[in-house]
A and B are shown apart, each in its own frame.
Chain A
């Protein structure tokens, strides 16, 4: 059972994830239409490239934008979740071993202590987001079933992985659940709003270029002050 799950199933789910994400990214870029969107994507590269990079970069830094600064609670929840969400799947020792074994990709591994810390932060972030979804009138208006589904879908691999890691009993069961939920996450991500894992970069780059090429990049003399 575990053999199949960490063997072929792992490879299949990872393939679905990577191919799915790639397809979405390619579909995004191919669907751009300079005339419809009124953005001369192919021109003014001197402004558009910095515009795109700044539009992505500033949002990856805590407090890097007016948006993060004016919404501290959302910002804290976001960064608590995302440092771990990005680093753990790629750089956790348990994961790098698998990646190396199946794909021959060897990534550096996070020190265990740091991994634990990131994991706790992510779980805290997810709980905080959940609490916000329950309590904030704004989020109550916006919540959909998919939002809850995605939140749980993300929570499960973190929680089960962490329980296995704590090793306070039923290790095998937790590990089994972890692998199952982890693979479920990978398979479903391209088809839910989790596709933002790549589309965030597309969307931010597009808006950065939009402002840099058309909406004042020339007069502003640089990227948009997010």
Chain B
């Protein structure tokens, strides 16, 4: 193959994406990477720009005390492998790169890539256990940015970043596909729910809903469920024609330019449609990208989004609290169940109180994992790791740690309001052949349990 697949240039065309996709498993892509030269001057400059006093201080004052070791699930899951200590992982990659002022070779960059994506999910847990407040996950995310800029990024994430740049979504879902899916879901469900709507591009609603391209492409019923829940709660809502995708593989890839493009699309939709608030679907990293980090990519000095942006769990907790969504208490989950705290909106956005509020409405026998809430462990598949074939083995080892944590609760159901965690939990049950534990998003549970108010017409389909 003569075509250049692996290079520092981001993918910005459909042809570029097709070429990458045609290279099964990225075999040729990684082959080219092994021959990709490092532009050491540019690297030195990027290190200068990226590593200012915060990062340099973190790397310099690290006491090498090892208190972060036990906090990392990779370290635990790999039988306390010293090479998995957060401090070691970052010092031997970003730290070394800085020490050598960018004078590193291709093999070094590829090793750094293996560590940045295959040994860290940027879950930020180790940052809680470091007495100096050194947040290694944050440093890894910046290292990813540097590696991306120089072309050393796993194949799937190169594609993911390209998808966002070309389609404005993490998958090849065009605006037409999106609007069609909305119409299709209304058609599918309006026999059961007469009057059901998915209002596209309506101005001045209370809620603008944004979601995940995967839902649109692979589980459109999730969109239908969202619509039913808005319908039943009498919410005035809409979806934008453009700017509906809230996930960001660009964030996992370290493609900061792509990240701001995503943001601009969503914020432009807010500007056009002027909703009172934005609600995002049950996704962890999407919330991180859009609500936590996003305002900064859009250059907003206050760090706040232009209108309140709620994660789905915040919205659900709110409608339950306000009585707009009523659940039938006799339908509460009877089996022991537990809750997966997604790092991206629990540790990194404090929403654990809302998921717990929801659990109090839906579960009879709710059991916390240990540790939980802000101190939870990553599911094992975060930071883009779920999607990277090259590190499948590493990921599967890590998954065991979460599985043990789930098993220890005795739960038979894991409530998982995060796409990535959901995938990781599905995969761990398969890899470790655990057939007695189920996992679920919130939406299907709520639909099963809700009481339909008298003003909402419902035609049972049984």
Contact = CB atoms under 8 A, between A and B. Distances in A.
Contact of A203 (B61, B293, B347, B353): B61
Given A28-B57, A33-B52, A66-B129, A213 B303 contact: yes
Contacts of B18: none
B133 A203 contact: yes
A137 B53 contact: no
A36 B128 contact: no
Nearest to B53: A31
B85 A199 contact: no
Interface in B50-72: 50, 52-54, 56-58, 60-67, 69-71
Contacts of B82: 137-138, 140-141
A43 B303 contact: yes
B331 interface: no
Contacts of B135: 207, 210
Contacts of A143: 64
Chain B residues touching A, range: 35 or more
A48 to B, nearest CB: 10
B52 A31 contact: yes
A137 B79 CA distance: 12
A40 B88 contact: no
Nearest to B88: A141
A193 B350 contact: no
Contacts of B85: 138, 141-142
Contacts of B69: 138
A134 interface: no
Contacts of B302: 40, 43-44
B67 A71 contact: yes
Nearest to B135: A207
Contacts of A42: 301
Contacts of B371: 66
Contacts of A78: 65, 131
A144 B349 CA distance: 36
User: Chain A: interface residue count, which band?
Assistant: 35 or more
A31 B53 CA distance: 5
Contacts of B58: 203
A214 B83 CA distance: 31
A67 B128 contact: yes
A39 B49 CA distance: 17
A7 B139 CA distance: 45
A74 B334 CA distance: 43
Contacts of B130: 67
A180 B54 CA distance: 33
Interface stretch (A9-17, A91-99, A218-226): A218-226
A195 B133 CA distance: 15
B64 A67 contact: no
Contacts of B66: 74, 136, 138-139, 141-142
A162 interface: no
Interface string A193-204: 101100110111
A29 B348 CA distance: 23
Contacts of B60: 193, 195, 199
Contact of B70 (A70, A139, A193, A203): A70
Contact of B292 (A68, A142, A214): A214
A59 interface: yes
Interface string A154-189: 000000000000000000000000000000000000
8 shortest A-B CB distances, which residue pairs? A31-B53, A216-B350, A220-B350, A40-B303, A141-B82, A207-B133, A38-B296, A138-B66
Interface of A: 27-40, 42-44, 55, 59, 66-68, 70-71, 74, 78, 136-144, 147, 193, 195-196, 199-200, 202-204, 206-208, 210, 213-221, 224-226
Interface of B: 49-50, 52-54, 56-58, 60-67, 69-71, 80, 82-83, 85, 87-88, 91, 127-135, 292-293, 296-297, 299, 301-304, 314, 347-351, 353-354, 371, 374-375
17 contacts: A36-B52, A43-B303, A67-B67, A68-B131, A71-B129, A140-B82, A141-B83, A142-B87, A147-B63, A193-B62, A200-B131, A200-B132, A203-B54, A213-B303, A214-B292, A214-B303, A219-B314
